[in-house]
Structure 1
Amino acid sequence: MMRLRHKLLIQAFRLSDQVSLWVALFVSVAFFGGPRGHVFLRDFATDYHPMMDFIAVGLVALIWWVAFALIIQYDANRFTSFGTAVADALRATTLCSFQVLMFAEVFDVNMITGRVVAGHWLLASALIILGRGVLRLLLTLLRKSGYNRRNVVFVGANPRSFKLAASMEVKLELGYHIQGFVLTEWEGASGEVTDPRWPVVCGLADFRLYLETGVVDEVMVCLPVEEYIREIFQIFGLCRDQGLVVRVVPDLADVRLLERAQVEEFDGQQLVTFFREKLLGQLLAKRILDVLVSGVLLILLSPVLLAVALGVKLTSPGPVLFSQERVGMNKRKFQLFKFRSMVVNAEELKASLASKNEMSGPAFKIKNDPRITNVGRILRKTSIDELPQLWNVLKGEMSLVGPRPPLPKEVEQYEWLDRRRLSIKPGITCLWQVGGRSNLSFEEWMELDKVYCDHWSFWLDLKILLKTIPVVLLGKGAS
C-alpha cells in the first residue's frame, strides 16, 4: 500500500506537469498566434487530421515526458525543497519551449512564432509552479492532519540522530512519526540512552525481529560507516527484503564515499562504482560551450591579440607568449599560455623574493611585484594576459570555468584533500575569481575550488561566467 501511494503521488506530479505544458501551448497559440492561431485551434478541434498530425502531437508528448523525466527527480522525496523543485521545473520548461520552436520548424506550423514560444514558457512555468505548489500544500495539510505519515526508526543513538529526529518531528509537513531508536551494543553498554522523548525500541541484534513485528515505513541509519560497514550492509539487506526505504546519515568523512555510487553488473558480478560526477549530459554541454566560446573569441579578438602582442614585444625584450608547464585534470601535464607580463628572468628572481611572499601554502604572490613590466601591469589588471588560454580551452586542456591549473611544485606541497581540485578540468575563471581573487588566502582559495568540484553543474558554470564579467571589467582583486 505504501508503494502504491508513493506511485500515485509521483503520477499526480507528472500529470500536473504535462497538463500544464499542453494548456500553456494551446493558450499561447490562441492569444499570441494571431488570426492563424485561432483558425488552427478551431480546425484542430473540428477537422479531420492526417496521420502525420497525430504522429507530430504524439512525438511532442513523448519528448516532453522524457525531458521532464530526465531533468526532474519524480521520487516524491519529502526532503526536496520547493525551491529545488521550482528550479528543476524551470529548466525542463525551458527545454520544452525550445522543442515547441523546433517542432514548428520541422512541421511548418506557421502560427508558432517567437511570441508564442515566449508565452508558452511563461505560462507553462507559472502553471507548473502553481500546480506543484497546490499539490505540496495539499500534502502538507494532509500530513499535519495525521494522514500520509510514515513511521521511521533510527539506528544509532548519537547527537546527529537526536538532532535529525527533533527536526523531523517539529516539521509536521514532512509527515514523519518517530518510533524510536535502535541501539548498538556499545551504545547500550555505555548507558548513553536516547532522548526521553523517544523510546529505545530494541538493540541492533534484535533489529530483524523488530522489523517483523513493528509497523515501520523508513529506517534512518546514523552510524559511522567505517566502523559499522558490515552492520550497515546487513541493515540494507533486511530493509530490502521488507521493501522498506532506508537512508544513511553519514559522518562528514563518509559523505564523499557515498555521495556518488552506482551498482553495475559485469560478467555476472555486481560492481559498486564510486565516482565524483555522473552528469554526462552537462559535461557534454560544458565542452560544447568551451569550444564555441573560445573559438568565437579567438576570432573576434584577433585584432586585440595582435595589438597586445606588439605592445609586449616593443616594450620588453623576450618572447610575446609565456609558456609554462601546469598540472591539469587527474595530474595530466600541459603547457599553459599567457601574454608575458614579467621580465624574462622572472623565475630566477623568484628565489630572492621568497621572503616577501604574501600567500600561505605553496602559492606565490607579492604586491607590487618588481618582476612585472609596465605593460604587464596593465595586462594583469585587465586580465588580458589570460586571453591566450582560450587556445588551451579550445584544445581541451582547460575549460572556461574550473580551478586554476597549478604548477607541479605546488602540487607536490598539496595536502591530501587539496588534490581533489585536480579531479576536474582546470579553467580560466572559477569561484575564487568572483569571490576575491588575489585578496583570498591560499586556504580560502583551495576551499572554494573544492566546493566547486563537489557541487559542479553546467548551470553553476554559467552563473560563474556571468559573475566574472563585471569582476574583470572593474578589475576587482586583480594584481
Structure 2
Amino acid sequence: MIDALVVMWAIAGAYVLRFGVDTDTASENKESPYIWLSIVLAIIWWLMLGAWNTRQSRILGSGSEEYKRVAAASLWLFGLVAIFSYVLRVDTARGYVGIALPVGLLGLLLSRWLLRQHLSVKRHGGDNMSNLMLIGGPAAVAHLAGSLLRAKHAGYRPIAAYTPGSVEDMQYEPASGLPILGRSTDAKSILSALDSCEADAVAISAGVQLHPQTLRHLGWELSARNVGLIMAPALTDIAGPRIHTQQVAGLPLIHVTTPTLEGGQRVAKRLMDVVVSFILIVAFLPIMLMLAFLIKLDSRGPVLFRQERVGQEGTRFKMLKFRSMVVDAEQQLASLAGKNEGNGVLFKIRKDPRVTRIGGLLRRFSLDELPQLLNILGGSMSLVGPRPPLPQEVEAYEHDARRRLLVKPGLTGLWQVSGRSDLSWQDSVRLDLYYVENWSLAGDLVIILKTARAVFTSTGAY
C-alpha cells in the first residue's frame, strides 16, 4: 500500500510540475496522452517492485538488500522507458521522466526506511518475529542464538535447540537457556521436535552431525510443511558483498573474497577524504573560529589539544582536537585512575572533573573533533575508519586487535554510530575488525549518514 501511494504521488507530482493542472488545455494538445502514460507507468512500477521481490519477508527489517532491490526495479523501469522511446522514436518529455524517477525512488527508499524503523520497534517488543529451532553442535548453537538475540531487528527468535550427535546430555543450552529437544541424527526425530516447538523455520549451524542425505530428506519434509530452512555457516562478521555462491556438482560452494584496499579503491577513498574534508572545513570555519574564541575565553591554555595517536601500519601522528579539559589534565590522570568508568582499556569518566564548561558542550555534540578534518586533509586520518588508538592502548592489544591498524583511523566509524564510550572493549574491537574486513565506499557513506544521528542523540558521548 505504501509503495502504491509513493508511486502515485511521484508520478502525479511529475505530471503536474511538467504540464500543469489545466485539464482543458491538456485535452486540446499533445500533453493529454501523458495522463494515460502516468497511469500505466504507476501500475508497471508497482508491479516491478513486486517482481523484484522487494516485499519478501526475509529481506525486510535488516540489511541493504531491500534498498538495492527497490533501486534496481525503479532503474530498470525507467531504463526500459528510455529504450522504448528510442526504438519507437517516441518523444518522451525529459522533464517528466527526470522528475518522476528521482522523486519516486527517493520516496520509496524513505518510506521503506520509515517502515523499517516501525518494524524494528515492533520486533524489539517481541512482535513480527519468526520462531527458529536451531540445529547444530552445542557451541555453534550457543553462538548463533546469542547473535540472533543481539539482532532482534532481523526478526528471528530462537525458541529451541537440537544437537544431533552430541554426547552431552543436557535439557537446556547453558549460554542461551534454550531447551534442547533431542540429539538423535535421524530426520524423523528432528521433525518430531519441530512439531513439539511449532517453529516457523529451522536454522542449521556448524558442527551438525547429519549425513548429507538426511539433510536432503529434511529439506523435503520442511518444504512440504511450509517451514523455512536456513543454513548458518560458521562465518562471523563477513559482509554480503564478500560472499559468492558457486554450484559445483550439486553442492553450493561459498567463496569468501579477501578484503583489499589497493589501487582504485585506495584512490577513491583518499579522493573522498580530501574533497569532503575540504568542503567541511570551509563550511564549519565560522563555527570553528567561534569555538576557538569560547575555549580561550573559558579557560587558560591553547585552543587546540595535540595528542600522539597510532595510525595505519603503526605510524604515529599528532591528532588535533579542540581542548575540552584543563591544561594539566594529563598530570591529573594518575589520581583519577580508580574512577575509570570506561571499558577497561579506554579511560572514561562520565563526569570528569577535568572537563571545562565549554568542553562539556563540545564533547556532547563531538564538536571537539572538528580539527581532525585537518588530519584527514593531511592524510594521517580518514573520514571513516577504526578509532585512533593511543600508543599505550596499542601496546596492550592482543593479536586480533592489531588488525585495526591495517587501515587509517577515522573521524567516525562503526564504533561512533554504535554507542561510542558505552561499548565494551570486545564490542569496540569487533566493530573495528568488521570494518577492516568489509570496507567499501558504500559502507563509508552509510556510516557518515548514521554519524549525524549519533552526534545529535549524543549516545555514549562523555
TM-score scaled by length of structure 1: 0.50
Given the alignment, which residue of 69, 87, 96 partners 1:89? 69
Relative distance call for 1:303 and 1:364 in structure 2 (3 A) is same
Relative distance call for 1:41 and 1:122 in structure 2 (3 A) is farther
How many Å apart are 1:337 and its aligned residue? 0.6
Name the CA distance, whole Å, in 2 between partners of 1:421 and 1:445.
10
Relative distance call for 1:452 and 1:322 in structure 2 (3 A) is same
Name the CA distance, whole Å, in 2 between partners of 1:123 and 1:462.
21
Name the CA distance, whole Å, in 2 between partners of 1:123 and 1:250.
36
What is the match of residue 390 of structure 2? 407
Percent identity over the alignment?
36
Asked whether 1:326 is paired with 2:309, we answer yes
- Greater share of helix: 1
Q: Deviations over 1:359-398 (max 9, x none)?
A: 2322112344343344434433343211101112333433
Q: Deviations over 1:6-40 (max 9, x none)?
A: xxxxxxxxxxxxxxxxx999999767642899977
Relative distance call for 1:91 and 1:255 in structure 2 (3 A) is same
What is the match of residue 371 of structure 1? 354
Asked whether 1:302 is paired with 2:285, we answer yes
How many Å apart are 1:97 and its aligned residue? 9.5
Give matches, 1:271-350, under 5 Å: 274-276=257-259, 290-313=273-296, 315-350=298-333
Question: Is the CA contact (8 Å cut-off) linking 2:381 and 2:408 kept in structure 1?
Answer: yes
What is the match of residue 266 of structure 1? none
Relative distance call for 1:343 and 1:273 in structure 2 (3 A) is same
Name the CA distance, whole Å, in 2 between partners of 1:345 and 1:87.
50
Question: Which letter maps to 1:111?
Answer: G
Question: Is the CA contact (8 Å cut-off) linking 1:89 and 1:125 kept in structure 2?
Answer: no
Give matches, 1:75-474, under 5 Å: 81=59, 85-92=65-72, 111-112=95-96, 115-118=99-102, 121=105, 193-197=185-189, 250-251=233-234, 254-255=235-236, 260=242, 274-276=257-259, 290-313=273-296, 315-450=298-433, 457-458=443-444, 460-472=446-458
Question: Which letter maps to 1:196?
Answer: K
Counterpart of 1:301 in 2: which secondary structure? helix
Question: Which letter maps to 1:353?
Answer: L
Name the CA distance, whole Å, in 1 between partners of 2:256 and 2:289.
49
Name the CA distance, whole Å, in 2 between partners of 1:314 and 1:249.
58
How many Å apart are 1:276 and its aligned residue? 3.4
Q: Deviations over 1:384-422 (max 9, x none)?
A: 211101112333433334332111210221233334444
Question: Is the CA contact (8 Å cut-off) linking 2:273 and 2:383 kept in structure 1?
Answer: yes
Relative distance call for 1:432 and 1:86 in structure 2 (3 A) is closer
Name the CA distance, whole Å, in 2 between partners of 1:119 and 1:412.
51
Give matches, 1:29-44, under 5 Å: 33-34=18-19
Name the CA distance, whole Å, in 2 between partners of 1:123 and 1:302.
33
Provide the alpha-carbon RMSD of the alignment.
6.3
Relative distance call for 1:290 and 1:274 in structure 2 (3 A) is same
Name the CA distance, whole Å, in 2 between partners of 1:377 and 1:42.
62
Counterpart of 1:111 in 2: which secondary structure? helix
Q: Deviations over 1:71-128 (max 9, x none)?
A: xxx99xx99636675321233467679999x999xx99653475434465379989xx
Question: Is the CA contact (8 Å cut-off) linking 1:28 and 1:120 kept in structure 2?
Answer: no
Question: Which letter maps to 2:19?
Answer: G
Question: Is the CA contact (8 Å cut-off) linking 1:24 and 1:124 kept in structure 2?
Answer: no
How many Å apart are 1:434 and its aligned residue? 4.3
Residues matched between the structures, number? 349
Bigger Rg, which one: 1
Counterpart of 2:446 in 1: which secondary structure? helix
Q: Deviations over 1:129-176 (max 9, x none)?
A: xxxxxxxxxxxxxxxxxxxxxxxxxxx99886xx99xxxxxxxxxxxx
Relative distance call for 1:396 and 1:112 in structure 2 (3 A) is farther
Question: Which letter maps to 1:34?
Answer: F
Q: Deviations over 1:255-302 (max 9, x none)?
A: 468984789xxxxxxxx9852368999987765654444222211222
Q: Deviations over 1:202-248 (max 9, x none)?
A: xxxxxxxxxxxxxxxxxx997669xxxxxx9xxxxxxxxxxxxxx98
Question: Which letter maps to 1:121?
Answer: L
Question: Which letter maps to 1:116?
Answer: A
